A and B are shown apart, each in its own frame.
Chain A
Amino acid sequence: MSKAGWVAQREFMVRVRSRQFIIMTLLGPFLFSLMFVIPALLARYGGSDKQTIWVHDASGLFAGAFQTEGEVVFREFDRQPDGWRDSLKSGKDLGFLLIDPAIDLNKPTGFRYYSDQPPGVATSDRITRAISDRIQALKLKQRGLDPGFVDSLRTNIDLQTLRLTGEGEENSSTGAATVVGFMAAFIMYLFIFLYGSMVVRGVVEEKASRVMEVLVASVRPFDLMLGKILGIAAVGLAQFVVWIALTSGLVALAQATILGGTEATSAQMAGSSPDGFEGIMLGLGTLNLPFLLSMFLFYFISGYLLYAALFAAIGSAVDNESDTQQLMFPVTIPIILAIIVAQMVVQNPGSPLSFWFSMIPLTAPILMAVRLPFGVPAWELALSMSLMVVGFLATTWIAARIYRVGVLMYGKKPTFKELLKWITYKV
């Protein structure tokens, strides 16, 4: 086995055997699956959103405007009951909507809502929509138009999005692409940060404990760095595989038992609209998943290697962990920038901004993850991937230059500028 192999093996074994790793690996899926299960459980058994709203319509214009729907019950009453303010103080989930006797349809004011708690967005939306719909209907009536006719003018169009490729047209799903892209980008971000900082800590540990001097007498610094990066990558991949397997297992188990069906969970996963989620699930079918997964894996690994090398260089430059923060900041800027830009890229996956940021190797892993499900021209993908390879070779080279100087330096914490100077040093 090569020396980098021995180093990687040690990194892997020591970390995988550590109590911290075992606890995190086993506990993680429970926490993740709770993220799915708890909202679903709440939706099923919570039921605390029930609300009764008493409507006193003194104007008489809004009879039947408020329709009881779902959790919110509307009750109309003719006169203001005495002591309704007191009942508000004692009652829970109560609201009173008071409408003034004279309502000017052109300048409608005089709607007041009282409750013990400020109403949620959904409740206030429903009330305002009911009022404005009724006012609109009244206005139409004044002009002699039939509101039913106006309603019939409203048409819902379902836009079928198709992407024209060399092989013909393909169905595409914007919703599915967005969800898949964001998930992949987020996982990439998490992976780089989680295991990148593990690399920093590992290098600092070797320097702080002074075992470094013995190590570099037996292993070339480059092999030492490479071994550490690869070993930790293996730890990360192992942890992710366990996490994904256990999480999906636990969620499936929860669905089969306590949730008693797939719908509740599925609805929660897609936000609140089952339709949207179904759309996304259908949309997934339109994506080329094996291709996407292999691309994700490529960006996942190359992105990690690129950043891990830089993190190793930072670790080598300092004597203790607390000094790493300041040096890590410039390296983390592109990652954070990529996450910010990703939100714009989703709006317009083909824009020049998307293009350039998915070419720069520092931001490409995250941005390509977002763009890939929308479809990326082959030449762009090829260019980005080549740049990615060049990029991680370049950062690894630079990092190795800094590393071999850094591991032997003790004392003053270097500035970022000094680190760059180390690249030119002869050792």
Chain B
Amino acid sequence: MSTAAPFLEVRSVVKRYHNHTALDEVSLNLQSGRIFGLLGPNGAGKTTLIRIINQIIGPDEGQLLLEGRPLSYADTHRMGYLPEERGLYKKMKIGDQALYLAQLRGLSARDARQQVRHWFTRLDIQGWVDKKVEELSKGMQQKVQFACTVLHRPDLIILDEPFSGFDPVNAEVLKQEILNLQRDGATLLFSTHRMETVEEMCQDIALIHKSKVVLSGETGEIRRRFSDRTYLLRHEGEFQWPVQGVERPSIPNSDSEKVPLSEYHSEKVPLSEYHSEKVPSSEYHSEKVPSSEYHSEKVPSSGSDVVKAPSAHSNEESAVRETRVRLTQGSLNDLLAHCIAQKIELHSVEEIRPGFHEIFIKTVKESQP
């Protein structure tokens, strides 16, 4: 996480209801111009926190600071909020609604009209301006709702499950718009259950469980933190078990774990694509090619002769095998040395870091009382 002063700071916020505490000493920092993912199981307190940031409700204890100053009601004009439960007036023309909501967020009538035209054109709903919400398709309604969220050019945009209800085409449109907003300097807060959204878009996350922040930080850093030193080896020759300090990793989530694999993760990508990629450093996550529950990370070849030029993987040429290993002790060099000793010809070594699905489940399970 960067050291610059946070754009929005949530400081030790506590919110109690009659018989339970919804938020217990929750602290978060949203950095300017970044996308922050708010994760957590249902009922963890995400909606409560979002409502507190939106000043719909107030915290019992703690403080919220926007650019270092305590949050004031006037700041709501700088915020855009897309709630999880979408809704607009059913019997009001969408153009009028957008205008109304923009004015409530502090835009002048003229400004509001201009922005409505701009966003409706941009999202390709201009022709529907005089239609009522009940006459629109679900996807169209979602677009209107998104437009209403960003019309007033907020610099803090809070999106609760932004992609739910969008078909893949419109989801892509929305994603690009969100990235544009970020590029234009907006800070975004996502609350989501979709880990692929987190992996694709978020730079920072916080995971709330049972009213507490149980995990937070930069996504890359968190993944590194959750590395359990599992590696994927591609090699010719037989890998001999057992090996001192190395074990076969159990493959998470394959054992009918509750969390289903999403479409993204179920796709197998031919090995050749991995190999053709130039990997600049160990920091790199091969996020473009999510091949499995695990995300692979190439490790700098510590011996120049270890990793050979990639060869296309095919069934006939089954000489190249894949082996997953997990180091329990010793270093990666020990493993490489062992391979050399066994006369195993290594083609590549990749570190496998857990995805957020796994991190999520693991963290939630471990913080179970």
Using CB atoms and an 8 Å cutoff, list the residues of chain A in contact with chain B. 3, 6-7, 10, 14, 18, 205-206, 209-220, 408, 426-427
- Measured between beta carbons, the chain B residues less than 8 angstroms from A220 are 73
- The CA-CA distance from A205 to B60 in the complex, in Å, is 30
A6 and B103 contact, CB distance less than 8 A: yes
A residues in contact with B85, CB < 8 Å: 210, 213
B191 to A: closest C-beta gap in Å: 13
Nearest-neighbour CB distance to chain A for B72, whole angstroms, equals 13
Contact of B87 with A6 in the complex, beta carbons under 8 Å: no
- Measured between C-beta atoms, what is the minimum distance from A350 to chain B in Å? 50
B87–A217 CB distance below 8 A? no
Minimal beta-carbon separation of B35 from chain A (angstroms)? 20
Residues on B with C-beta less than 8 A from A408 are 51, 56-57
User: Which among B6-14, B88-96, B227-235, B324-332 touches the partner chain?
Assistant: B88-96
- Of residues 148 through 193 on chain B, the ones whose CB sits less than 8 Å from some CB of chain A are 148
Scoring A3, A205, A211, A218 by chain B CB atoms within 10 A of each residue's CB, the highest score goes to A218
A313 to B347, CA, bound (A): 71
Q: Please choose the segment from B20-28, B62-70, B76-84, B122-130 that sits at the chain A interface, where 4 or more of its residues have CB less than 8 A away.
A: B76-84
Expressed in whole angstroms, the Cα–Cα distance for A215 and B104 within the complex equals: 8
State A14–B103 Cα separation when bound (angstroms): 16
The contact of B92 among A3, A14, A215, A217, by CB within 8 Å, is: A14
- Complex-state Cα separation, A133 to B86, whole angstroms: 81
B289 within 8 A of partner (CB): no
Partner of A211, one of B54, B60, B76, B87: B87
Q: Which of A3, A210, A217 contacts B81 (CB 8 A)?
A: A217
Residues of chain B touching chain A, judged by Cβ–Cβ distance below 8 Å, are 51, 54-58, 60, 73, 76, 79, 81, 83, 85-92, 100-101, 103-105, 148
Contacts of B51 in A (CB 8 A): 408
Question: Known contacts A209-B88, A408-B56, A426-B60: does B83 contact A218 (CB below 8 Å)?
Answer: no
Known interface pairs A3-B104, A6-B100, A408-B51. Does A217 touch B89 (Cβ–Cβ under 8 Å)?
A: no
B271 vs chain A, min Cβ distance (A):
48
What is the CA–CA distance of A6 and B51 in the complex, to the nearest angstrom?
23
A-B contact pairs, 8 of them (CB 8 A): A7-B104, A205-B89, A209-B89, A210-B87, A211-B88, A217-B79, A217-B81, A427-B58
Which residues on the A side are within 8 Å of B79 (C-beta)?
Answer: 217
Cβ of A6 and Cβ of B104 under 8 Å apart?
yes
Q: Is the CB of B90 within 8 A of A209?
A: yes
Residue of B nearest to A212 (CB): B87
Residues of B within 8 A of A10 (CB): 100
Chain A: CB-nearest residue to B102 = A218
Question: In the bound complex, how far is the Cα of B291 from the Cα of A202, in angstroms?
Answer: 51
Most interface-central of B56, B58, B83, B87 (chain A CB within 10 A): B56
CA distance A14 to B93 in the complex (A): 10
Main secondary structure of the interface of B (DSSP, over half): loop
Cα separation A205 to B92 with both chains bound (whole Å): 12
Contact between A218 and B105, CB atoms less than 8 A apart: yes
CB-CB < 8 A to B105: which residues of A?
A: 218
Nearest CB of B to A317, in Å: 17
Establish whether residues B87 and A213, one from each chain, have CB atoms under 8 Å apart when the complex forms: yes
Chain B residue contacts of A205, Cβ below 8 A: 89-90
Measured CA separation A205–B101 after assembly (Å): 16
CA distance A138 to B75 in the complex (A): 97
Q: Which residues of A contact B148 (CB under 8 A)?
A: 214
How far, in Å, is B144 (CB) from chain A's closest CB? 12
How distant is the Cα of A295 from the Cα of B73 in the complex, in angstroms? 39
CA–CA, A14 and B92, complex, Å = 7
In the complex, how many angstroms separate the beta carbon of A389 from the nearest chain B beta carbon? 28
Complex CA gap A209/B55 in Å reads: 21
Residues of A within 8 A of B58 (CB): 426-427
Distance in Å from the Cβ of A297 to the closest Cβ of chain B?
Answer: 30
A426 to B87, CA, bound (A): 26
The 6 closest A-B pairs by CB, nearest first: A210-B87, A218-B104, A213-B83, A217-B54, A211-B87, A210-B85
Bound state CA distance, A216 and B73, in angstroms? 12
CB-based nearest A residue for B145: A214
A210 contact set on B, CB distance < 8 A: 83, 85-87
Instruction: Tell me how far the C-beta of B316 lies from the nearest C-beta in chain A, rounded to whole angstroms.
Output: 58
Q: What's the Cα separation between A215 and B56 when bound, in Å?
A: 9
- In the complex, residue of chain B having the shortest beta-carbon distance to the beta carbon of A220: B73
4 other A-B residue contacts (CB within 8 Å) besides A214-B87, A426-B60: A3-B104, A14-B92, A210-B86, A214-B81
Report how far A215 CA is from B90 CA in the complex, Å.
14
Contacts of B73 in A (CB 8 A): 220
Closest to B106 in A: A218
Flag if A214 contacts B103 (CB, 8 Å): no
Query: Which residue on chain B has the smallest CB distance to residue A216?
Result: B56
Rounded to whole angstroms, the CA-CA distance of A177 and B170 in the bound complex is 68
From A206, A216, A218, A426, B101 is in contact (CB under 8 Å) with: A218
Cβ of A423 to closest chain B Cβ, rounded Å: 14
| Closest chain B CB from A417 CB (angstroms) | 15
Task: Return chain A residues, CB-CB under 8 Å to B83.
Answer: 210, 213-214, 217
A212 cross-chain contacts in B, Cβ below 8 A: 87
Q: Which residues of B have CB within 8 Å of A216?
A: 56
- Asked whether, in the complex, the Cβ of A214 is within 8 Å of the Cβ of B90, the reply is no
Return the chain A residue nearest B158 by Cβ: A217
- Name, among A209, A213, A216, the residue most crowded by chain B CB atoms within 10 Å (CB to CB): A213
Smallest beta-carbon distance B343→chain A, Å = 65
* A218 and B76 in contact, given A6-B100, A426-B60, A427-B57 (Cβ under 8 angstroms): yes
Q: Which residues of chain A are within 8 angstroms of B92 by Cβ–Cβ distance?
A: 14
Q: Is the CB of B76 within 8 A of A217?
A: yes
Which single residue of chain A is at the shortest CB-CB distance from B80?
A217
How long is the Cα–Cα vector from A58 to B255 in the complex, in angstroms?
113
CA distance A212 to B79 in the complex (A): 16
Chain B residues positioned under 8 Å from A7 (CB to CB): 104
Q: Which residue of chain B has its CB nearest to the CB of A427?
A: B57
Tell whether, in the assembled complex, residue B101 and residue A214 are in contact, meaning their CB atoms are under 8 Å apart: yes
Beta-carbon nearest neighbor of B90 in chain A: A209
Closest B residue to A405 using CB positions: B57
Query: How far, in angstroms, from A3 to B102 measured CA to CA in the complex?
Result: 11
| Across-interface contacts of A6 in B (CB, < 8 A) | 100, 103-104
Shortest Cβ gap from A25 to chain B (Å) = 18
